[in-house]
Amino acid sequence: MTKRAVYLETSVVGYATSRPNRDLVVAGHQQITREWFALRAHGYELFVSQLVVSEASGGEEEAARERAAFLQGILRLGITDAAGELAAKLVESGAVPRKAAEDALHIAVAAVHGVDYLLTWNCKHIANAVMRQAIEGVCREAGYEPPVICRPEDPMGDERG
C-alpha cells in the first residue's frame, strides 16, 4: 500500500522548529506539531515546494538555518505553470484574498500534484471553514481534486478507534 501524500505548508515547518513560546496557544500548536512529526509523519509521504523553502529561509538567521535543516530530505513539488494558473483562479474568484496570493499558490501546488492533504496552521486563508467550499469549488472547476486542508491536530484517517 502506498503512503498518502502530505504537503507541508510553511506554518507547520515554523511550529515544528521554533523555540518554545510563552503564549499558550502557540505553545500548544508547537507541541501538537512536534507530536505529529514524532508519531504520525512516518505514515505519510511528505512534500514541500520551493515556496515553502523560500518562506522558511526568512527571518532570524539561526531559526532559518534550523528550518532549512528540517526541510532536508523532504521531497519538493514543482511550482508549475498549471499551479500558477490555479493559484490565479483561486485569487480571481475571491476564494483566497489577493493579499494572500502565496497561500493560494500553496493550495494550487498541492492540488495540481494530486497531494492528499495540505497540512497547515494558517487558519486565516487556508484552513478556514468559510473559505474551504470556495477553494474546493475552484479546484474542481479547474479539473483538480483539492487536497484535504487540515491542521496537525486533525484526524487524517490514521487514527485507529
Contact 64, 94 (CB under 8 A): no
pLDDT (tens digit, 9 = 90+) per residue, 68-103? Answer: 999 999 999 999 999 999 999 999 999 999 999 999
pLDDT band at 160, cuts 50/70/90? very low
Give the strands of the sheet with 4-8, arranged side by side: 75-77, 44-49, 4-8, 117-119, 148-150
Tell me the pTM.
Answer: 0.94
Domain architecture of the chain: domains with CATH: 4-150 (3.40.50.1010)
Say whether pLDDT at 161 is over 50. no
What are the b/e assignments for 49-79, b being 16+ CB within 10 Å? bebbbebbeeeeeeeeebbeebbeebeebeb
Arithmetic mean of pLDDT over the chain: 94
pLDDT (tens digit, 9 = 90+) per residue, 31-72? Answer: 999 999 999 999 999 999 999 999 999 999 999 999 999 999
Give the single-character DSSP code of 20: P
Contact 77, 108 (CB under 8 A): no
Rounded-to-integer distance, Cα 68 and Cα 144, Å: 30
